[in-house]
Structure 1
Amino acid sequence: MDSLNLHEFMLWVLSWLALYLGFRYVLRSSLKLKKRHLPPGPSGWPLLGSLPLLGAMPHVTLYNMYKKYGPIVYLKLGTSDMVVASTPAAAKAFLKTLDINFSNRPGNAGATYIAYDSQDMVWAAYGGRWKMERKVCNLHMLGGKALEDWQPVRDAEMGFMLQNILKHSQRGETVNVPDLLNICAANMIGQIILSKRVFETEGDEANEFKDMVVELMTSAGYFNIGDFIPSLAWMDLQGIQRGMKKLHKRWDALIARMIEEHQSTAKQRASRPDFLDIVMSQRDNCDGQGGRLSDVHIKALLLNLFTAGTDTSSSVIEWTLAELINNPKLLKRVQHEMDTVIGRERRLKESDLANLPYFVAVCKEGFRKHPSTPLSLPRVSTEACEVNGHYIPKNTRLMVNIWGIGRDPEVWEKPEEFNPERFVGSKIDPRGNDFELIPFGAGRRICAGTRMGITMVEYNLGSLIHAFNWDLPPNQDGLNMDEAFGLALQKAVPLVAMASPRLPLHLY
């Protein structure tokens, strides 16, 4: 055999050997994947995967997929893997048993273009700086002791809101409930962070703030194609990134102005520093891993506190009050309990809440049926793992359908009904340990403001119910209870109602 033929023969042998080895590898990989069963789910479209299937109400779509495929649904979204947990047991498996493996967030457009490129506490990587920010927030704003210290602030701001509602009532005007709730919540948070009320009255500035909060929560909840097919992100096919960049500029300008005004009055707070004073003092402190709290980190943290702190609690209060207005007998029962425990010669205090079991059950029912975050913020697996016999690859996104768990007839009897009785005498609690009711999430990345959120929902809603009777506007038969999807679940039609005072006027 001459050298040329030998060369061709060797190429032929190597080609067939490569083909054989390649076929063997594919076969072995296929067999291995068969052993590593992915969770069931829809097949999806070419390239886009299941993205087009999600529709305008992804939480409802994913709930329907759960009914078809089971507790853990696997979705191929573009080039990304995602699993959705839709039962308490599945949520517990991911958020408790495998909590550390799912302690990080995946990058996305919202984190990049709104949250200062993941420099905030919500989207930050799990690590030293995140732990430092969380610790500072717990010690000085969101933890139990801090909540007690700031109780007079919440009481004073509630007084302003009740006065405002009384003025509308005396003029025979309807009350735009979410507007007033957002002003009250923003002022409560503003007093804690900045030692000042953010908005003195209703008006254009307060309306713009509310619109910015709603826009942020809405845009951050979108399933953005660029997040799941990175090669297409530059095209911004849905225009989401352009909107986020514009919104970020507005937020950045507002927060920068807040910080600048705050620094100009620093000497006045020398003996009683507020939250921002304490955070600013942390700029030069190491987080234990060589990082430092920069001015960008501080602005990103304020963005978290003002947006999540106002919208999430306000939306639950709005939904729950709407349910009570639609069910006058329930409203009267709550008011009867309050009159028995508190009377009508003083306002409700936070210390009264422990003695109002039926009202607390009403709040839990609000958290169940109308969780402020219908789908949990996404997490991502650090390593491949197995859940309930299903193989979960590395870098798989995880979402928990909190809304779906709250509507599941396997978990709740007649879940479409607003029925606080289901929580009377129940030990189920929304603080992250009972996976039937996790409106704030669970595990390491549970919402940092869980305690504060529950306190604000119970105190603010309780004050509105104790201080006023609530009725439908004239010539209106019922309230529209349609949802508008976003990171927070808004009412599609804001709650507007008539209020009439129940207490002596000098208490407002």
Structure 2
Amino acid sequence: MTDIFSPQFLSLGGFFLLIVALVSYHIAKRFHHEKRPIDRPPLPPGPKPWPLVGSLFTLLRNKPAFKWIHSLMHDMDIEIMCLRFWSVHVITVTSPKIAREFLKKQDEVFMSRPFCMSAFVTSGGYLTAALSPLGDQSKKMRRILASDILSPSRHRWLHAKRIEEADHLIRYVFSQCGWSGGVVNVRVAAQHFCGNVIRKMVFGKRFFGKGAEDGGPGPEEIEQVAALFTTLSTTHAFCISDYVPWLRNVSINVNKHFPLLVRIPFFGRIFDPDHHGKIIMTANAIIRKLQDPEVDERIHQWANGTRTQEEDLLDVLIGLKDEAGIPLLSSDEIKSQIMELMLATIDNPSNATEWAIAEMINQPQMLSRAWDELDRVVGRDRFVQEDDLPKLNYVKACAKEAFRLHPVAPFNVTRVSLKDTQVCGYFITKGSHLLVSRLGLGRNPEVWEDPLRFDPERHLVEGQDVFLTDHELRLLSFSTGRRGCPGVLLGSTLTTMLLARMLQAFTWEVPPTKECISLSESERDLLMAKPLLAAARPRLAEHLYYRLE
């Protein structure tokens, strides 16, 4: 029960008084007088909501929300739960069987996305493929991604750019450890490899500025990557305004046009109670100040004839034409879709690689097995290439196990029910938000034996290749279904190449000052609590590293 005299409650009193004052009669009637028809199934189980506001009070008192939600489901011993935030039902699922009912059998019912502040800001007003609610715009952008940006043929076209960045990854890590070995920040190497790859594929350049002298990220890239991860952590992150439509619009406008107003405590609590608006708009401004000028300059180059050949994805996006020869995309659409491509590329591969190496250092026999496989498949006289990846089953199993046990986000991207429906004997109302738990699926004890143990061998089946996806939804590496991730090929390639190159080119050990690698999760998210610092040493012939200089 919420303590109504707690300081946190009183500090938000003005905000909730305003909410209550603006509640219309029909909403009050809906939640106080509406009765469930006799022949209609019940909603999924969940905590009893407060009148009118539902569980918004409790949401504010329990941060991060994902830990509270999973704790509730564990305590109630349920695998599907219904929470009500204001007038929105939020359905959370931790069972693969139930997840398949939603994302496979009724996938077309749950094809849309919610209208929310973070998605609106990040997508430039719902101009993109992944974050936009179902409609002509999202369908248009998904077609473009599937046919022109993330298709297998385009993937092959960009092969040289990815390999260039894979070579640069080794060059950078080598600069950190040298021949005698040294401590390397694996998180920095992994995150900026992913950032370098997508920048090279989109803009044709590794750095916005000059980069660091050691080949690492410069201040511009450090700023961009930090802002991208801030955006990712804030998007669909249980912001109060995501469930109170009028507050969403007010929060966006006040943060954009009257930023000083939200800094005043009382008004800040009213217009941006959990500061999501300020956070997401600040992060987006940082990213766009670096990326948008690149788009404007490139459009100008094509217009004045100084650029005539397609060399990267930005050229492709600019060059798309309709049947009448008119540009298919506006500059705002291009800028927003590039933002989404950046967000979709940078987090999953880097997080999985950092966790996998950390787990493997603590279990050296796994490193030995991975090195044996790499030496057998690739040898020690050249670096791993993309053609080798399908044969590296154990390396892929390590990456897949990291996806299972250490997902980068607690839930899949939110989906919205397009109509009333029934799932597993429960009534799901139109407009319900569906959250499939990556944690719940990957750590489900009914599915996985000893689920908290890192064990790549659980993914190895004699005579079968390992894929990073799981069509039975026992884990979620990439989203699935009609609103699934169109970049599975790119994401799988980046993840496997990043881990394979890091393992093949260097040995990895616990730093001299530590006894083992701490596998603690961050208090606020699922990243490692502290960046992985590991002792690295080159393990291949000297001439291979010199060749990269």
The residue that corresponds to 2:63 in the other structure is 56
1:460 and 2:498 matched: yes
- From the superposition, tell whether residues 130 and 326 of structure 1 become closer, same or farther in structure 2 (CA, over 3 Å): same
Larger radius of gyration: 1
Distance in structure 2 (CA, Å) of the matches to 1:312 and 1:436: 17
Give 2:37's aligned residue.
Answer: 32
Residues 1:181 and 2:152 aligned together? no
User: What residue ranges of structure 2 are gaps of 5+ in the alignment?
Assistant: 1-29, 251-270
Q: Which residue of 1 aligns with 2:257?
A: none
Segment of structure 1 superposing worse, 112-121 or 100-109: 112-121
- 1:153–1:34 distance in 2 versus 1, CA, 3 Å: same
Instruction: Tell me which of 391, 395, 398 is aligned to 2:434.
Output: 398
| 1:37-436 alignment, distance < 5 Å | 37-53=42-58, 55-67=62-74, 68-170=76-178, 173-198=182-207, 200=211, 201-202=215-216, 203-233=218-248, 234=250, 235-263=271-299, 265-266=301-302, 267=305, 270-282=308-320, 293-425=329-461, 429-431=467-469, 433-436=471-474
Cα offset, 1:172, TM superposition:
5.2
State how far apart, in whole Å, the 2-side matches of 1:219 and 1:151 are. 32
In structure 2, the partner of 1:448 is: 486
Which 4+ runs in 1 deviate beyond 6 A?
Answer: 25-28
Deviations 1:232-259 (A, max 9, x none): 4442111111222222222222221221
Give the stretch that moved more between structures: 434-443 or 464-473: 434-443
For structure 1, the residue ranges without an aligned partner over 5 or more in a row are: 1-24
Give the superposition deviation at 1:354.
2.0
Cα distance in 1, alignment partners of residues 196 and 420 from structure 2: 45
- Alpha-carbon distance between aligned partners in 2 of 1:431 and 1:388, rounded to the nearest angstrom: 24
Report the CA distance shift for 1:50/1:424 in structure 2 as closer, same or farther (over 3 A).
Answer: same
What's the counterpart of residue 254 of structure 2?
none
- Separation in structure 2 between the aligned mates of residue 194 and residue 188 of structure 1, nearest angstrom: 10
Higher mean C-alpha displacement, 153-162 vs 218-227? 218-227
Separation in structure 1 between the aligned mates of residue 428 and residue 72 of structure 2, nearest angstrom: 18
Range with bigger deviation, 269-278 or 450-459 = 269-278
Residue 457 (structure 1) shift: 0.5
Tell me the alpha carbon deviations over residues 279-300 of structure 1, each in whole angstroms, 9 at most, x when there is no partner: 112366799xx99632211111
Q: Distance in 2 between matches of 1:27 and 1:185?
A: 51
Work out the CA distance in 1 between the residues paired with 2:40 and 2:297: 61
> Contact (CA 8 Å) 1:194, 1:274: kept in 2 or not?
yes
Question: Normalised by the size of structure 1, how large is the TM-score?
Answer: 0.87
- Give me the whole-angstrom Cα distance separating, in 2, the residues matched to 1:26 and 1:330: 55
Question: Post-superposition shift, 1:432?
Answer: 5.5
Identify if the C-alpha distance between structure 1 residues 210 and 480 changes in structure 2 by more than 3 Å, giving closer, same or farther: farther
Q: Distance in 2 between matches of 1:31 and 1:377?
A: 30
Task: Say whether residues 1:483 and 2:498 are aligned partners.
Answer: no
1:47 Cα deviation from its structure 2 partner: 4.6
Alpha-carbon distance, 1:373 to partner: 2.7
CA apart distance, 1:393: 0.8
Distance 1:77 1:484, change over 3 A: farther
Call closer, same or farther: CA 1:360–1:312 in 2, change over 3 Å. closer
Tell me if the contact between 2:447 and 2:474 (Cα under 8 Å) persists in the aligned partners: yes
Report Cα offsets for 1:405-453 as digits up to 9, x if no partner: 1011101000000001111107674435221122212111112222211
**C-alpha spacing 1:431/1:26, structure 2 compared with 1 (3 Å):** closer
**2:37 aligned counterpart, secondary structure:** helix
> More deviation in 105-114 or 403-412?
105-114
Q: Secondary structure at the match of 1:165?
A: helix
TM-score, normalised to structure 2's length? 0.81
Matches within 5 A, 1:10-29: none
Cα deviation, residue 48, structure 1: 4.2
8 Å CA contact 2:81–2:93 kept in 1: the answer is yes
Give the distance between the partners of 2:205 and 2:502, measured in 1 at CA: 23
In percent, how many aligned pairs have the same letter? 29
Deviation digits for residues 45-99 of structure 1 (CA, Å, limit 9, x no counterpart): 4554334545334334333333325222111112211111211111111111111
1:158-182 CA-partner distances (Å, limit 9, x unpaired): 1111011111111754212222222
**Cα gap change, 1:69/1:41 in structure 2, threshold over 3 Å: closer, same or farther?**
farther
Contact 2:85-2:243 at 8 Å conserved across structures: yes
Q: Mark the CA change 1:286 to 1:453 in structure 2 (over 3 Å): closer, same or farther.
A: farther
The 8 Å contact of residues 483 and 489 in structure 1, kept in 2 or not, is answered as: yes
Residue 408 of structure 1 aligns with an amino acid whose one-letter code is N
Distance in 1, matches of 2:369 and 2:100, equals 35
Q: Distance in 1 between matches of 2:494 and 2:509?
A: 23
Q: In the aligned structure 1, how far is the partner of 2:393 from the partner of 2:87?
A: 49
Q: Distance in 1 between matches of 2:136 and 2:107?
A: 17
Q: Which moved more, 1:405-414 or 1:196-205?
A: 196-205
Deviation at 1:303, TM superposition (A): 0.3
Q: 1:33 to 1:317 in 2, by over 3 A?
A: farther
CA distance in 1, matches of 2:182, 2:423: 55
